[in-house]
Structure 1
């Protein structure tokens, strides 16, 4: 079996996403996905990955992953790493299809049949538009179907939002009200007034629903160390399951100091790239929950290594999804086969709207849990209708 073509597929409506499709001389295809910096990522795939991978046997994933690491071992969540990650996902998809088994079987099988989900309370336009500087302040709240405008809801109607999720059987929600404090934030410092505004949603939800719903706070690494500590201390009375990315990940010592100062779990890691960065995070005791993004941090093979490192350190791991449907499928296969994974993230504003337009199948969600089908590989393909869109762009490298 040889790889005969490597395509990148993009659509203007979801401009941050890039899909990779590998095709073999036996007619099998494998799908991968990544997001952010699509131009540079696409250029790396066709300029560096394709010249190497074309003509190779796609089943030799370990060899290919080592090669794609690149000269001097490029790391971080760079364009090189994102291109490598998307290609790695496609290679694993191809391997599963070539053997006629779902991805989780390649990892030794499932340790559970279904996994609880939590909802990241984004709106359907969140993360889809390119920008020079990604900021929460311009993510289009108040747009799209009112039922799933969850960002607007957590800012204005947090109790109603929590009730809506519970009605669907979803018992976990992640929100980020501190991002929207505007003038109450100066250079990573939070004011007392801003602190009170930020905790208000957590207070209202706990008052209405008690411990019927798990709460998480996304902090998007906006904060300096003293302000992050103040926020976490203020949230502690509401018993969040974790707080996420409280400070930038460039200083493991800051994360370690923060985690040592609070019993509240810090979840972090999705923007790290390569297993070495995760080892540094775990060795520094910089978190209580390791979070991994399959499309940013090195793909599926690295995800399994990171999960094993976390398990050896007695830490749980969770796989990120606020990205695209292929990443959700890959993450769910991993989550179901990973003993120290206890939940899977979804964004219902994506899952129940545009995810369904892009792929043929999604991991089934029912009564607040998620699973996968028994179909080979990831269990999905890009929708044929995707290629009929006027805004689709396909670039192809072919074995000559």
Structure 2
């Protein structure tokens, strides 16, 4: 089997998402995905990656991963080179599964979990697609407009939001009520009034459902260490499950100091790429939970090595998803085959919304648990209607 064609697809209405399809002379097509800077990643795939892959055996995944990730430029970061390599790697694993007639989790060693526990990231349907909802919330102008406007509900009706998640069987939820204050001050100052206002959603969640749901606090790496510690110490009262990306994640000693002084567990980081970055944080005892984003860290090939590294340090993993449906499906396969996976992030607003328009199949979510995909490979493909959309931009490299 040989790679004959590499095709990318992006949409002007969802400008952060990019899909790549690897075509073979056997007729099989592998699907991959990445997020942010889609046009730049598209250029990287066709100008530099395609010449390395066209005509090659797609099942030599480790060799391709090394060639794409460890080149002369761009390695050890989550920039354009790594995002392109990540999307292509996911597509190669999809091809591998299809060629073998089994789901990817079987290729990774088989299931060690019968199903995967999910937590809901409380984003609104258009969060991370263009930034408008985040901007409005920062200005205090947003209002709940639908069933799954969870990002707004987290601020305006957090108790009701928590109860709705408990009713749907979710074991955990993630919110970020301090972001607006960080955006206002550049992450350099947090007043006592702002601190109390940011804590209010956590208090109302505990009043509504008690300890019936775990609550994570997302910091988005927006704060300096002093402010991040100020928030973390105040959050201890509410039994927070983790503080996620509390500071910039390239400050290894700073993060280790934060973890030691904060008194609450630390999760990181969707923003990191390749095992070296995680090695340094784990060696410094700076993390309690390891989060990987398969579209940014180097794809499935690199993510499974990061998961094994985390297991060597006896740390759980919880793959990231606030981006696209293909990465969600790939992450689920990784989690099902990883003994130290404890959560898969989902955004129920996405699952009930635009994800359905993009792919043929989504993970099955039942009472807060994701069921294993059973079809070969990823178990999903781009939705045929995507090719007919007027905002579609496609590009092809072929032999």
With normalisation by structure 2, the TM-score equals 0.96
Q: Deviations for 1:285-335, whole angstroms, at most 9, x for unmatched residues?
A: 111111100000110011111011111101111100001000000000111
Residue 170 of structure 2 corresponds to which residue in structure 1? 170
Whole-angstrom distance in 1 between the partners of 2:211 and 2:77: 38
The number of residue pairs the alignment matches comes to: 397
Deviation at 1:181, TM superposition (A): 2.7
Matched, 1:119 2:142: no
**2: CA distance, partners of 1:73 / 1:42:** 15
C-alpha separation between the residues in 1 aligned to 2:278 and 2:313?
A: 12
Question: CA shift at 1:262, angstroms?
Answer: 3.1
**1:191 deviation in Å?**
1.3
Who is 2:99 aligned against? 98
| 1:263-284 C-alpha deviation (Å, 9 max, x unpaired) | 3111012111111111111111
| 8 A contact 1:29–1:94 mirrored in 2 | yes
Give the 5 Å matches for 1:105-254. Answer: 105-129=106-130, 137=138, 141-142=142-143, 146-181=146-181, 185-254=185-254
- Cα contact 1:125–1:140 (8 A) shared by 2: no
SS at match of 2:210: helix
**After the TM superposition, which segments of 4 or more aligned residues of structure 1 sit over 6 Å from their partners?**
133-136
Answer yes or no: is the 8 Å Cα contact 1:89–1:330 preserved in 2: yes
The within-5 A match list for 1:52-71 is 52-69=52-69, 70-71=71-72
Whole-angstrom CA distance in 1 between matches of 2:208 and 2:92: 47
Query: Per-residue deviation at 1:239?
Result: 0.6
Which position in structure 1 is the counterpart of 2:307?
307
Deviation, structure 1 residue 75: 2.0
User: Which shifted more, 290-299 or 182-191?
Assistant: 182-191
Match of 1:50 in 2: 50
| Equivalent in the alignment of 1:83 | 84
Deviation at 1:255, TM superposition (A): 0.4
Structure 1: where are the runs of 5+ without partners?
A: none
**176-185 or 329-338, larger mean C-alpha shift:** 176-185
Distance 1:75 1:135, change over 3 A: farther
The offset of 1:207, in angstroms, is 1.3
Paired residue for 1:40?
A: 40
Structure 1 residues 189 and 103: CA distance shift in structure 2, 3 A: same
SS of match in other structure, 1:33: strand
Alignment map for 1:266-281 (pairs within 5 Å): 266-281=266-281
Aligned equivalents of 1:297, 1:40: Cα separation in 2? 17
Q: Which runs of 5+ in 2 are unaligned?
A: none
The equivalent of 1:12 in structure 2 is 12
